[in-house]
Amino acid sequence: MAGHGTMEAGAALRAFAALDGQVAAWAAPRGHWAIALHELICFGLKQASACLFGGCMLALLLASWAWYPAGAGLARYDFLTLAALAIQLLLIATRMEGRDEACVILCFHLVGTAMEVFKTAMGSWIYPEPSVLHIAGVPLFTGFMYASVGSYIARAWRLFDFRFVRHPPFAATAWLAIAIYLNFFTHHFLPDARWLLFAAVACLFGPTWIHFRIRQKHRRMPLLLGFVLVALFIWLAENLGTFAAAWRYPAQRHAWSMVPLGKLGAWLLLMIISYVLVSVVARRRYRSGLS
């Protein structure tokens, strides 16, 4: 079954490469605008592929909110957990995600779930619907929402062939990720260190440039800008998730409202944790890209 899925994935890649070559042949004689448009489309397609797991999860949240039967024997949250697990297994079976990546994403699932249990106990947010598959009132699908961030980074790293200039040492990024994770817990009892953590992120990653390949040529941008852009898209997805009642903040108990823009900072810090976890696998494959 896995071999059949791999053959289909390989056939799809060959078909895409053939189509890409045909479009490139069409664009070349038409000037820079056509070449730029072709590259923009390729960028969008690769981004969509990288977002596959997260996009499927978001679609499930919205579709189940709109159409899931109210009297179904299987609670909506439990359906989301089983559907997320099926998607994850399918990605592994078709080798769209490697086993090493899946292991790191599983780790992120676990650390995300642990934080969810603590945060809901502290009243940071709630899950308004019942479920059987839960830990301390936290439905298990929530861990997959965190894992989708790791899945995106892992897939984007491969699809865009990331290379880095002036990347900080792994040990420094690992200690930063640990400090960020601990602060998500300790700021409820001790002074919030997030501004110190923001400063540490800026010092470590400020000099770093990321080189990414859309088609043949590598482009570059500051890695910090990449972090901010991804955090912005996660914040937008969070607004859709709360709109679909997957979870709710205290201010949204009675009526939905936009998630405060200040949550961007929390997502930026969470991005760093996810990035460092994924880099454990990526460093093995792309060690020559870290400089």
Average pLDDT of 84-90? 90
pLDDT band, very low/low/confident/very high, at 38 (cuts 50, 70, 90): confident
Average pLDDT, the chain: 85
Domain count, the chain: 1
Whether residue 122 is predicted with pLDDT greater than 80 in this model: the reply is: yes
The more confident residue out of 148 and 38 is: 148
Bridge partner residues of 165 (DSSP): 209
The H-or-E segment that residue 203 falls in is helix 194-205
Whether residue 77 is predicted with pLDDT greater than 90 in this model: the reply is: yes
Whether residue 8 is predicted with pLDDT greater than 70 in this model: the reply is: no
The more confident residue out of 97 and 66 is: 66
Average pLDDT of 218-223? 93
pLDDT band, very low/low/confident/very high, at 101 (cuts 50, 70, 90): confident
Average pLDDT of 151-167? 91
Distances (CA, A) of 110 to 5, 113, 141, 197, 251: 28, 5, 11, 23, 27
Range of the domain at 260: 2-289
pLDDT band, very low/low/confident/very high, at 291 (cuts 50, 70, 90): very low
Cα gap 57→63, rounded to integer Å: 10
Query: In the structure encoding, which two tokens stand for residue 283, read together?
Result: 């460093």
pLDDT band, very low/low/confident/very high, at 3 (cuts 50, 70, 90): very low
pLDDT band, very low/low/confident/very high, at 288 (cuts 50, 70, 90): very low
Whether residue 2 is predicted with pLDDT greater than 50 in this model: the reply is: no
**139 and 80 Cβ atoms separated by less than 8 Å:** yes
**pLDDT digits 0-9 by tens, 162-217:** 999 999 999 999 999 999 999 999 999 999 999 999 999 999 999 999 999 988 78
Q: State pTM to two decimals.
A: 0.86
